[in-house]
Amino acid sequence: MLDLSNKRILVTGGAGFLGRQVVEQLCQAGANLDKITTPRSRDCDLRVLENCQRAVEQQDIVVHLAAHVGGIGLNREKPAELFYDNLMMGAQLIHAAYQAGVEKFVCVGTICAYPKFTPVPFKEDDLWNGYPEETNAPYGIAKKALLVQLQSYRQQYGFNGIYLLPVNLYGPEDNFDPRSSHVIPALIRKVYEAQQRGDKQLPVWGDGSPTREFLYSTDAARGIVMATQKYDGDQPVNLGTNYEISIRNLVELICELMEFDGEIVWETDKPNGQPRRCLDTTRAKETFGFTAQMDFKQGLKNTIDWYRQHAA
């Protein structure tokens, strides 16, 4: 097991929703907060190679979380930006880390990398068996290319890079901006605002049939840190809960927890996204002992409570 106590650790995206949790979990696992660096994108644009080179200087471990990411709306509006930004950030950072002699690189990929029609639950071995769902393919493929890069750098240079595939995340401090948020924060905000206005109806995209799996941010961060300490393999590893819920049931549950009793109106002319999403989490359990702990209903409650406190 990797001893983190005197490692210098770079966490890209370390000030973000997941990043703050990862920094906290690193410290709980013995890392020294003074030796953790979390550059902000406004000061360190990782699309520029020189910035990547500066960022990895003197670092022992790099945890790459930084991403240009959002929900289905952003994916439709800015596919080119999502492809370019994520590919350039990742590819240059990996290359710079290899050149700087970084001991270990932890790359956090995305569930969007999986083919549109993947047998459920998704197994890591199915990653290449088809094209991703069209709306998030540019983002998914850019992130998936980084897996190939890490595997080839391991093969040619002996560079220790690992690749993790977390399912959709949620939790307090999530991104609730309606233009770029994912489904849970988007729905929580939508219900909250409907209640503020006294609306009797709640319009929701799609027909409610797709299924999703959600991982609480603290669980995801713990999984990433466990992999950093214990996993050195070349194969990608899913991080999830193995619990699948339909969007229809999710919307109903959020309405129940928030005590919204209006009518849900399904906007069936809007896209559904990928039909089903649920991960096989066997590999994470077997290789570094990770299983999710947060109960889904409790996690939703925590997220709703946080949003109500900070909505203003």
Domains of the chain, by residue range, sit at 9-173+214-243+276-294
Q: Is 18 annotated as a binding residue?
A: yes
Q: Is 205 annotated as a binding residue?
A: yes
Radius of gyration over every alpha carbon of the chain, rounded to an integer in angstroms: 19
pLDDT in tens, 262-275: 999 999 998 888 78
Share of the chain above pLDDT 90, in %: 88
What's the pLDDT score for residue 222? Answer: 98
pLDDT in tens, 113-142: 999 989 999 999 999 999 999 988 999 999
Q: Is 56 annotated as a binding residue?
A: no
Q: Domain 9-173+214-243+276-294, what fold?
A: Rossmann fold (3.40.50)
pLDDT at 242 over 80: yes
Question: In the predicted model, what is the mean pLDDT of residues 77-97?
Answer: 97
The alpha carbon torsion through 178, 184, 188, 189 (nearest 10 deg) reads: -10
**Tokens 């702990």 identify what position?**
293
**Tokens 């290789």 identify what position?**
287
Assess contact for 206 and 273: CB atoms under 8 A. yes
Considering 98, 114, 139, 170, which one is annotated as catalytic?
139
What's the pLDDT score for residue 72? Answer: 74
Assess contact for 190 and 134: CB atoms under 8 A. no
Backbone angles phi, psi at 73, to 5 degrees: -65, -50
pLDDT at 181 over 90: no
Q: Is 192 a catalytic residue?
A: no
What's the pLDDT score for residue 52? Answer: 98
Which residues, at least 6 apart from 177, have a Cβ–Cβ distance to it below 8 Å? none
Q: Is 16 annotated as a binding residue?
A: yes
Burial 142-177 (b: 16+ CB within 10 A, else e): bbbbbbebbbebbeeeebbbbbbbbbbbbbbbbbbe
Q: Is 30 annotated as a binding residue?
A: no
